[in-house]
Structure 1
């Protein structure tokens, strides 16, 4: 596969390409633009060959390679980058570095579109520079943390972000602004620096800002006629920028300095600040100049037209510039403006879902019979009422006790729509869901205020279909007992199947997704089911199917000797892996599957991969994706999984990015998030095991940190590594520096585990590690109580050491699972442990990568994390091997942390700022490489009291 890479060099975006382990001579994606060049890059290399991207292993070293590049100026790059995403397919993909530059270019264009730039003088040349405040500043920091090392060429990460973003903003502004603006920019070369500083202060603001609150006219008393032009008031106040609840009205500001104690820690002169802030705001909202003519401005009276101009034009500008703005609660609500109300005449889409009927015509493409009504909020309007409202000639009117906006254009569109409604086009279920979710506008651009449907479509739109279905039992072919929430899950899956729709079963780990699927599979079906899962789960599906649905004819399609054709009448369930599905697409695609199920469906979160494309092409009448993490890193994960389950539901990847991903991830757009939730919730069923209304008999989980001490030998080794790293890091930069930091983190964590692990010298184990001593104490207590424990480590070599040490120490068998264990041996090992017989091993050591997912190990009620992965989600997944359905005892989870070391300091970060840790630490340890030397010193320095004698 061709992989397109990018980096920032000499003020330009350089693109280069690789094909497997081969470097291509160059890559020109934009005709004759771009300059061909050669660069020497440090690239992952193994056995004198370029490591295939992105499958880079720890054994690959960074070696210099001469790479042919095509380099683009910022303005050319801005035109080129957005189109690269359209190239993704089976034969071409974008490296993370290129995706990052696409995101940066989009961010720069968004800043310019919102006017978040200022004139600046850079190297004596006038340029446009970004203004980064609030969410924009947070997004810029997130981009800096996400910048891949491959995008750098000897530059610090922060320098690349600053330089590239400045260049993109300048290029985007020059392309979008009129010629007059560019002429003005060129004229500021002689402007004094203090003037530019004042402009920046105007854009960014200070510790206290002006706040504006619009107060609507009082409602007329009973018997009074409403005033012909009601009186509105825009009140002024001061508000602490970092403490929005601290607001002091302008009247108090002018009346008494003594009443301003709350603001004294922010500013020394509140009255002068209020005047300065009003002056700054008047540049955006000129109506404030009238208030500034008063000696002590406290409010601005407005007529109805003025209030509407403030609501629709002035308020958004003031809010975007950082001022506080408080508007009436009805503004921007659907009930405050003319909208369309959609009523489905036949809530079944033509046929009520009953038994499975492959020719029913149901599904996303089913046609529904419908009527449109025009409404103000929930109140339908007739054509005569619309005409009377049009005659009022006012933008705001109080109607039935509530203020509403009357847009003349929309009123005219509404009248026109009523006249042509008879010629309306047909509507499908997919169209209905998009309209109900707000992803599409209503007729004539009118907002959708309500969608009303009965029957199964009503249940689907409510998002509560699983609660409103019949509580039917599992089929007779299912050998087991379903919990109430599992029965609801089964009936929800049946409901979607009968309606011809796909679904995402996203229950929390341990709630029995496999059992719910097997109960569905055990029922009658007109054709076979293909189940695609990771290799590690094939054996688990075989065992669980034999246990819960023994009548199912199960066939495993895997291995070098797998069959080259499948007889669909010979099997009920065919189990295969993602890699085989990608290789055997043609053969599997020739089978008329009734159902295709993806287990651990996050495996297709990247829609551009070959395996994601392969499973989307498989023909089936019903599709189910099973995953406990439908969104792992970004919303594109959800799009990719939903594109399998219900193709086309969320639109194209580009449209999804524009409508949902960017507004939600970049801007925190709550409305976009709500719209996405409304569209997807009928097709996503998620329950969590901490919800006692879902499952009340799961035992408690007790989590605790176990603080261990270093032995003197460990402390000496630790300090030597820190001293050596800090000395070398001060004289290194770029890729070399980042490599040093990551290597040092690994070495220090290994020292905290055991000196023999770090030295790799095969030396003796007893008496040299505080962690090993504490682990032996805990396991002795576990064994004395007749209980069992799982011991996780991220280092396979340390796992081998623990197995040897614990087996020798207690004279008991210790199981050890790592990535090199073959499937048959793995299955046997898990089965023996789960038997919990006197002869089976009571201790199970597991490599975190090999044993952290996909296993049920409820025979253990103790979980020990011997070393930290620094990603809470990964640790939780490993813990859930024991803390899941079938566990009858309270689960004790111990996380080992070495006192006074980097382990303890990062554990504190995870504990105190878990949300932040999931965003930053959760991406791995790359964020550590960008810390300054001073920050690294503080993080790594060993506390004096860390070491004790064993």
Structure 2
């Protein structure tokens, strides 16, 4: 859908809608908004009618009560050509049109609840709502707010409003590099529609235009601060301030006396938890309080991201080992694309206007911001005072001992405070002069076996002991001994002079590398996962190290990553039909992957013949391995049980098929030999599996086929737990929708197919579900795709290669007249339903159900 017709979401701060530029007008009659209130609006760039806007909202958010939302008109800026252009492109200098748009107002409280719970994972294969970039942006920011609050990352501040009067506020802080990077990622991936508030109005030939938008970093930071403050105060209100009231009971009693001088701490804390956030300086000794609080919070706040620029400290490697280290100081954008040397900041540099536009009021404010940042940085690392003791300098020199001190703790504290730290290239992760290591995984012995289906590998459950792994520590690409490695990580100095060169021993690396001795490759599938990703992480948010796979495991990984590398498998001669080209590809995939004893998911679109492809595969196994022991168990919903039976009889009459369903099915131990006959197929239902699991779990099947495997999406259900207990050499799941709602369903599926490949449920939750569902972390998305890609084959009817291979679609319309009896029954039912709809005693929800029925 074109962005012009997509529903958009925009945060409107009180400072915008109260100023003339917004030309804000409340359409809903008899309603008023508090002057200090901020809110969200839903709107459409093509500026359709209110009725059409309502329809878009209902389609996108069915749960929103349209009739309760206030309507408004407000000036918003749009580019000449509407597209979901990302921030980097949209923020360049251009002229925007200003148009008065119709919008629907959503108050902060329900909006934050909606956005926090919103699932915004992109999945083109599923019929689900695809939200606009602006909705995703504000959803990600809302999730970030709750994450920061949950981690306690907020501080109190006092903002001056006029002489001796301040407003207290809770302000969120991005304490870790991980949080800062998430904010920057949201910032850099957002489109103009998420921050399209004009900074001014230019009348050009009777048309309203603007030459700039509110800077996204400024608008997003306002949102973080205002929502964080609102949620903290709401939480405190729910707790009824019991502790506060008890501690300040005497102050509360005396507050009614106008002559009584209240203590400053009581006044300050009161403004932080009550509705009225005004702090009045009444006494001389209280005048120092705002400055003290600002100095106290400055180190925590650091260089705030809302300015879209930061103080950069770039350490340069000395030309000679004995020389000092240059440290360059500049002001740069967060993405590092533009910078100003510090000493040129007050010399009218052209870039200064762009850096400070739309987020700082007045040219004089930037001086205070930068100097405060320098002051905060120098408290963390005192040698930085050299940059501003006499004149402002853009470069200072550090001794080797100062560099060592800088790299110990100040570097990380400065990063946490929002400063940009750039190390010499040789010290960056993977740089030549940085201690690093890699994990090498290899096979202990030749794992190949001969004969039968297991001609390549034994079962994945038996191969664990055949793997060996070790760590290979290196500096400058050269291997070092274990003793040298231990001495380096036990060193307290971040820099070590080794063979006339400085080697960085980063403390973050050391903490991570010390976990090497604890780290173990758990099993074969864990080794496979590490080999597929090619990286290993020893601690949360820590560095990632290369994984090198050697021997047969490396050969297997190379093979399964490309279906083209598989051995060709012709359609079985006894197959009573003809496979299409894409179905032959699936046969080749299943045949080769099951030789490696991997569990598979054939996830073709509905109607592409998953059942036929599996039947051809079962015939191939019978022809290829006629003496292979064990039968095949096919589990499917009861509704398709007899369809499977008919399809097998039709396309593979040579296969023996038995219905394991109903009262006459096998149930006793003496009948177990019936399940051991080669290539015999047992068809059963999910319900039968659940009831017979105590009997069936004792049988070693050759293979298990699970049809409509989305039925086992709930890992905790009795049905899924029963399927987990089944034993077989290979496992195949069939589903047109392997994931219907949440990523946990994928784990439930793979916990059956290849248990351990995605780790434990908690590991999967931490490494993939939280980063992907909450923050759309691209690295986590890519890693998960890389791991599961070899084991899922998914083709859609819309794929060009598939469409060419499908027969023409034929539609035949048949008109059938109702019999007289059917007409009477239909008439009676209609009249009865209409009477119930008109009946005032019937619940409204039930009436809606009757209409839909």
2:573 partner SS:
coil
CA gap of 1:415–1:604, structure 2 versus 1, over 3 A, is closer
- Summarize the alignment of residues 51-62 of structure 1 with structure 2, pairs less than 5 Å apart: none
User: Given the alignment of the two structures, is residue 406 of structure 1 paired with residue 499 of structure 2, yes or no?
Assistant: no
**Contact residue 602 and residue 793 of structure 2 kept, 8 A:** yes
**Shift, 1:508, TM fit:** 5.3
In structure 2, the partner of 1:774 is none
Q: Of 392, 413, 432, which residue of structure 2 is paired with 1:296?
A: 392
**Shift, 1:514, TM fit:** 3.5
The CA distance in 2 between the partners of 1:598 and 1:334, in whole Å, is 48
CA gap of 1:236–1:307, structure 2 versus 1, over 3 A, is farther
CA gap of 1:638–1:787, structure 2 versus 1, over 3 A, is closer
**Shift, 1:574, TM fit:** 2.7
The CA distance in 1 between the partners of 2:740 and 2:794, in whole Å, is 15
**Contact residue 325 and residue 403 of structure 2 kept, 8 A:** no
**Contact residue 525 and residue 754 of structure 2 kept, 8 A:** no
- Summarize the alignment of residues 601-640 of structure 1 with structure 2, pairs less than 5 Å apart: 601-640=709-748
CA gap of 1:409–1:563, structure 2 versus 1, over 3 A, is closer
In structure 2, the partner of 1:235 is 329
Q: Of 655, 666, 674, which residue of structure 2 is paired with 1:552?
A: 655
In structure 1, the partner of 2:524 is 429
In structure 1, the partner of 2:681 is 573
- Summarize the alignment of residues 647-662 of structure 1 with structure 2, pairs less than 5 Å apart: 647-662=755-770
The CA distance in 2 between the partners of 1:534 and 1:284, in whole Å, is 65
2:472 partner SS:
strand
CA gap of 1:401–1:365, structure 2 versus 1, over 3 A, is farther
**Contact residue 129 and residue 169 of structure 1 kept, 8 A:** no
**Contact residue 433 and residue 461 of structure 1 kept, 8 A:** no
**Contact residue 696 and residue 726 of structure 2 kept, 8 A:** yes
1:254 partner SS:
coil
**Contact residue 363 and residue 429 of structure 1 kept, 8 A:** yes
Structure 2, unaligned runs of 5 or more: 1-62, 64-142, 159-167, 187-226, 245-263, 272-277, 280-289, 623-627, 819-844, 846-853
In structure 2, the partner of 1:338 is 436
**Contact residue 518 and residue 548 of structure 1 kept, 8 A:** yes
User: Given the alignment of the two structures, is residue 472 of structure 1 paired with residue 575 of structure 2, yes or no?
Assistant: no
CA gap of 1:453–1:515, structure 2 versus 1, over 3 A, is farther
TM norm structure 1: 0.48
1:422-448 deviation per Cα after TM superposition (whole angstroms, max 9, x unaligned) = xx9997423523554556749xx9965
The CA distance in 1 between the partners of 2:462 and 2:567, in whole Å, is 25
1:640-687 deviation per Cα after TM superposition (whole angstroms, max 9, x unaligned) = 111111223333222332344334444555555555455544544455
**Contact residue 462 and residue 682 of structure 1 kept, 8 A:** no
**Shift, 1:629, TM fit:** 4.2
Q: Of 309, 322, 331, which residue of structure 2 is paired with 1:209?
A: 309
- Summarize the alignment of residues 403-802 of structure 1 with structure 2, pairs less than 5 Å apart: 405-406=504-505, 428-433=523-528, 435-436=530-531, 437=533, 438=535, 441=538, 448-460=545-557, 463-464=560-561, 466-482=563-579, 486-507=583-604, 512-522=609-619, 523-524=621-622, 525-538=628-641, 540-558=643-661, 567-568=674-675, 572-670=680-778, 672-673=780-781, 675-677=783-785, 679-686=787-794, 695=802, 697=804, 788=811
The CA distance in 1 between the partners of 2:305 and 2:265, in whole Å, is 22
**Contact residue 378 and residue 450 of structure 1 kept, 8 A:** no
User: Given the alignment of the two structures, is residue 376 of structure 1 paired with residue 471 of structure 2, yes or no?
Assistant: no
In structure 2, the partner of 1:266 is 359
- Summarize the alignment of residues 129-208 of structure 1 with structure 2, pairs less than 5 Å apart: 189=269, 193=279, 199=297, 202=301, 205-208=305-308
- Summarize the alignment of residues 247-326 of structure 1 with structure 2, pairs less than 5 Å apart: 248-250=340-342, 252-263=344-355, 264-267=357-360, 268-269=362-363, 270-279=366-375, 288-293=384-389, 295-299=391-395, 301-302=397-398, 313-314=409-410, 316-322=412-418
- Summarize the alignment of residues 72-83 of structure 1 with structure 2, pairs less than 5 Å apart: none
**Shift, 1:165, TM fit:** 6.7
**Contact residue 339 and residue 446 of structure 1 kept, 8 A:** no
The CA distance in 1 between the partners of 2:684 and 2:400, in whole Å, is 67
1:139-190 deviation per Cα after TM superposition (whole angstroms, max 9, x unaligned) = 9xxxxxxxxxxxxxxxxx999976787799999xx9xxxxxxxxx9999638
The CA distance in 2 between the partners of 1:118 and 1:238, in whole Å, is 26
User: Given the alignment of the two structures, is residue 812 of structure 1 paired with residue 812 of structure 2, yes or no?
Assistant: no
The CA distance in 1 between the partners of 2:509 and 2:817, in whole Å, is 74
The CA distance in 2 between the partners of 1:271 and 1:127, in whole Å, is 23
CA gap of 1:427–1:259, structure 2 versus 1, over 3 A, is closer
The CA distance in 2 between the partners of 1:700 and 1:246, in whole Å, is 57
Larger Rg: 2
Structure 1, unaligned runs of 5 or more: 1-57, 59-105, 140-156, 175-183, 221-225, 702-785, 790-806, 816-925, 927-950
1:689-726 deviation per Cα after TM superposition (whole angstroms, max 9, x unaligned) = 6666x65725899xxxxxxxxxxxxxxxxxxxxxxxxx
Aligned residues between the structures:
560
2:387 partner SS:
helix
**Contact residue 630 and residue 702 of structure 2 kept, 8 A:** yes
The CA distance in 2 between the partners of 1:303 and 1:698, in whole Å, is 71
**Contact residue 340 and residue 447 of structure 1 kept, 8 A:** no
User: Given the alignment of the two structures, is residue 117 of structure 1 paired with residue 225 of structure 2, yes or no?
Assistant: no
1:206 partner SS:
helix
**Shift, 1:339, TM fit:** 0.9
**Shift, 1:627, TM fit:** 3.4
TM norm structure 2: 0.52
**Shift, 1:205, TM fit:** 4.6
The CA distance in 2 between the partners of 1:624 and 1:497, in whole Å, is 9
- Summarize the alignment of residues 875-886 of structure 1 with structure 2, pairs less than 5 Å apart: none
The CA distance in 2 between the partners of 1:355 and 1:402, in whole Å, is 58
Alignment RMSD (CA, Å): 5.7
1:432 partner SS:
helix
**Shift, 1:381, TM fit:** 0.8
CA gap of 1:501–1:386, structure 2 versus 1, over 3 A, is same
**Shift, 1:638, TM fit:** 2.0
1:584 partner SS:
helix
CA gap of 1:359–1:255, structure 2 versus 1, over 3 A, is closer
